[in-house]
């Protein structure tokens, strides 16, 4: 910059009111105290956050509420389909074609059964988890591996000694517990499933299975002390039932594995002496 242009620039700055062009003093930015939201504003924001969370959960996890009239019609449909199924293959086809449950739309596969259909022991679980939904096989994840290990400890395998199914055939979103509506809509299929297998013994794995089949709400620790009798309109006899802990519970409470092993030994001894 030439001397003349420098003088012109300084003159312009003086005219604009600039009194200093350089300073050795470091000027720190002023500290601004954050504005505190009022108590009322915090409560409104908190409520809004909860409302948004609740709506998100409702959309992604919980099945839509079914009106009483629609529910009755869906129950009649599942009962009619179960009544008309004469074989396992027909029942499986009816279950797979049934559109009465919203969770079917979010599931990958219908999880119908696994194991030996000629087995004397029928094992009924709760509902498919993530692995079961992906593979279409009940008890094939971490819980399933533990179940297989437990069976091996009493000399049993699912391929030879057990026929395995669930009380609900599709995975509830987020692995949540099935609702009473979902359990009720699947119950006719479960009842016909039991009749077609015609087992000597039923093993109910977990609280949901026990509630679905026996319609008892007591804890598993209480129910497993007694041999229960199951009956339905499809069977002309009572079937002995045993309630056992779900493998997922045993993974959380490994100290209960010993008790679960004794429960399966009791089942083995019972079936050998029926």
Q: Express each pLDDT in 24-61 by its tens digit.
A: 444 444 444 444 555 555 555 445 444 433 443 333 33
- C-alpha torsion angle, residues 196, 229, 161, 243 (rounded to 10): 120
Q: Express each pLDDT in 210-241 by its tens digit.
A: 999 999 989 999 999 999 999 999 998 999 99
Per-residue pLDDT at 1 exceeds 60: no
Cβ–Cβ < 8 Å for 241, 224: no
Q: Which tokens hold the place of 130?
A: 């993530």
pLDDT grade for 67, boundaries at 50, 70 and 90 = low
- C-alpha torsion angle, residues 143, 144, 145, 149 (rounded to 10): 100
Q: Classify 25 as helix, strand or coil.
A: coil
Question: What pLDDT score was predicted for residue 7?
Answer: 60
Q: What is the mean pLDDT of the chain?
A: 83
What is the average pLDDT across 163-177? 96
What is the average pLDDT across 183-195? 97
The residue ranges of every structural domain in the chain are 68-272
Cβ–Cβ < 8 Å for 239, 230: yes
For 68-272, CATH number out of 3.40.190.10, 3.40.710.10, 3.40.470.10, 3.20.20.140 equals 3.40.470.10
C-alpha to C-alpha distance for 76 and 83, rounded to whole angstroms: 10
C-alpha to C-alpha distance for 225 and 190, rounded to whole angstroms: 24
What is the average pLDDT across 11-32? 47
Q: What is the DSSP letter of 230?
A: E
What is the average pLDDT across 241-268? 94
Cβ neighbours of 35 (radius 10 Å): 6
């Amino acid at each position: 910059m030439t001397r003349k242009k420098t003088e012109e620039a300084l003159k312009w700055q003086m005219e604009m009111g600039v009194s200093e062009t350089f300073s050795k003093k470091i000027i720190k930015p002023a500290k601004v105290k954050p504005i505190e939201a009022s108590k009322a504003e915090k409560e409104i924001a908190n409520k809004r956050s909860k409302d948004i969370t609740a709506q998100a959960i409702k959309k992604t996890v919980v099945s839509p509420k079914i009106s009483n009239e629609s529910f009755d019609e869906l129950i009649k449909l599942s009962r009619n389909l179960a009544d008309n199924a004469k074989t396992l293959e027909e029942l499986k086809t009816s279950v797979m074609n049934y559109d009465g449950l919203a969770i079917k739309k979010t599931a990958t596969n219908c999880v119908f059964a696994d194991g030996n259909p000629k087995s004397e022991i029928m094992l009924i679980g709760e509902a498919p988890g993530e692995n079961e939904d992906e593979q279409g096989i009940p008890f094939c994840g971490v819980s399933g591996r533990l179940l297989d290990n437990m069976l091996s400890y009493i000399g049993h395998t699912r391929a030879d000694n057990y026929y395995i199914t669930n009380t609900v055939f599709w995975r509830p979103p987020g692995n949540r517990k099935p609702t009473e509506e979902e359990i009720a809509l699947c119950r006719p299929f479960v009842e016909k499933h039991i009749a077609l297998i015609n087992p000597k013994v039923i093993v109910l794995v977990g609280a949901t299975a026990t509630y679905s089949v026996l319609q008892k709400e007591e804890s598993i620790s209480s129910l497993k002390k007694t041999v229960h009798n199951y009956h339905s309109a499809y069977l002309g006899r009572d079937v002995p039932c045993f309630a056992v802990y779900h493998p997922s519970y045993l993974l959380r409470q490994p100290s209960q594995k010993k008790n679960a092993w004794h429960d399966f030994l009791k089942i083995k001894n019972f079936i050998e002496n029926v």
